[in-house]
A and B are shown apart, each in its own frame.
Chain A
């Protein structure tokens, strides 16, 4: 009787989970893969094969875009880590007790403001008639308005801006748990600042670093708004190609193939990152 109730409640708890994962994650992704293997040969006539993937390989624009998206995302992840780590360390270890909470809140609030508004803010600052250009004109540093939008540097700055808080927040939580005595011991044993950072702080913060990097990389590679708004129509971001195939050309088969390629590519990078650092998905992303 007792075990029957246990089993029944287990089934009742398992049902929503199974419905969610099965109907909204597994089946749709399997369907996407099947669709990507299908090709339209004539109206209402389809053939199965690798045609969509062969098209992808034969068209340099497509795979160049994927490589560009991937390499820029890795660069953005790296920059976010380099810029964000000192900030996280300051919040977790150097700031006084009272200012620590305030600074952390200052990080959390922009995190909850939509990407769209943050990109909009950058547009207002950087466009030809924008704040920065007007200000430089006014000071006399330049004679003509300058367009700061629609180049790769702006896209990278905008992306770093959009994702950096997802790096800082897990880093702060990890560094927060570190005992200051560990750092002091490192100095007492004769290590200089750099050695202490490399041998003590970074290894301790590793789960936070990996978790931040995974989330930041996925968000960057899958982002759509920031590259389009700050990079213009020709920003060549891979998600834009997917949108183009799906909505503009109505070529769902090839769009599904592109989607699968993006998923495979990002999963590969995440998997490599986890392997190289010896971490698992459960003890990094799930903790943050």
Chain B
């Protein structure tokens, strides 16, 4: 009896601990999101009443996020960069999956480790190493031919390359895991039925990989959208949203418009995460 009682007390304590943890997990997100609706010029207590001004008000001092030029252009650049990075990295991730699941070539294990490596290099270092290389090439060309390659100066192109360099590892791992589960006999059946190799790829193999490709694309987009460390060193005049927000946060008098952006981003990434999970779940049953 005593033991059962002790056990019950332990389980209750354990539950309390888990509850406290989730409270800890939610607290900053709730704080960042909820002040977007506070009718005050500062994101702080006391609560002054509910307002949507920080989203929709067109004039100062309560300039809403949908009228804030710099935030909107940050959002736009983040979208452009995110879509470029995720489509590129899903493409290379898919070819990598075929390479490592189907291909046989010498030193395959070594190359596989090489593929994982970008994930364990600090983002700051990926950023500076690519910055150094691009600047060296650009300087070299400028000195030799007196021609300036704008693309290799900090800007969107370098940001895309920098993010692509490690997001490809993530997409490759997701798609590789899916391709490993593929039943070879399905392809053979299609070949026996007279399909060409290309047709088999298009009608059998790629549709099988689609859930993983979609999930990898969403993950890649999210990681790109919120990346800071690598982007910080490669960014030019077209700042993506994280950089714009960071610059404002560093300033003391930031208004709750940042909370409005946070709210939109929390909801947006939450929804995308849900979609990823739903797509992946489809995969396990199918």
CA distance A135 to B31 in the complex (A): 13
> Among B18, B25, B115, which residue has the most Cβ atoms of chain A within 10 A?
B25
Interface residues on A, range: 35 or more
Q: Is A42 in the interface zone, CB < 8 Å from B?
A: no
* Residues of chain B from 1 to 48 with CB closer than 8 A to chain A in the complex: 14, 17-18, 21-22, 24-32, 35, 42-46
Q: Is A231 in the interface zone, CB < 8 Å from B?
A: no
When each residue 47-82 of chain B gets 1 if its CB lies under 8 Å from chain A and 0 otherwise, what string results? Answer: 000000000000000000000000000000000000
Asked whether, in the complex, the Cβ of B120 is within 8 Å of the Cβ of A115, the reply is no
When each residue 129-151 of chain B gets 1 if its CB lies under 8 Å from chain A and 0 otherwise, what string results? Answer: 11111001000000000000000
Give the chain B neighbours of A75 by CB distance below 8 A: none
Asked whether, in the complex, the Cβ of B96 is within 8 Å of the Cβ of A17, the reply is yes
Q: Is B205 in the interface zone, CB < 8 Å from A?
A: no
Q: A25-B117, A90-B18, A262-B122 are in contact. Are A243 and B232 (CB under 8 A)?
A: yes
Asked whether, in the complex, the Cβ of A112 is within 8 Å of the Cβ of B270, the reply is yes
User: Which of A117, A129, A239, A281 is within 8 Å of B262, CB to CB?
Assistant: A117
Asked whether, in the complex, the Cβ of B25 is within 8 Å of the Cβ of A107, the reply is yes
CA distance A12 to B99 in the complex (A): 9
* Residues of chain B from 89 to 116 with CB closer than 8 A to chain A in the complex: 91-92, 95-96, 98-99, 102-103, 105, 109, 111-116
Interface segment, one of B184-192, B208-216, B221-229: B221-229
Q: A13-B103, A32-B132, A239-B124 are in contact. Are A161 and B118 (CB under 8 A)?
A: no
Asked whether, in the complex, the Cβ of B128 is within 8 Å of the Cβ of A242, the reply is yes
Closest to B17 in A: A86
Asked whether, in the complex, the Cβ of B133 is within 8 Å of the Cβ of A27, the reply is yes
Give the chain A neighbours of B125 by CB distance below 8 A: 29, 32, 222, 259, 262-263
Asked whether, in the complex, the Cβ of A124 is within 8 Å of the Cβ of B249, the reply is no
Give the chain B neighbours of A121 by CB distance below 8 A: 27-32, 262
Q: A16-B91, A86-B14, A103-B18 are in contact. List 9 more A-B contacts (CB 8 A).
A: A17-B115, A25-B117, A31-B136, A110-B29, A118-B29, A120-B28, A124-B35, A134-B44, A239-B124
Query: What are 21 A-to-B residue pairs whose CB atoms are below 8 Å?
Result: A16-B91, A16-B96, A17-B99, A20-B92, A25-B121, A28-B130, A90-B14, A105-B274, A111-B273, A112-B226, A121-B29, A121-B32, A124-B44, A134-B45, A239-B124, A246-B233, A256-B132, A263-B121, A263-B122, A285-B116, A286-B116
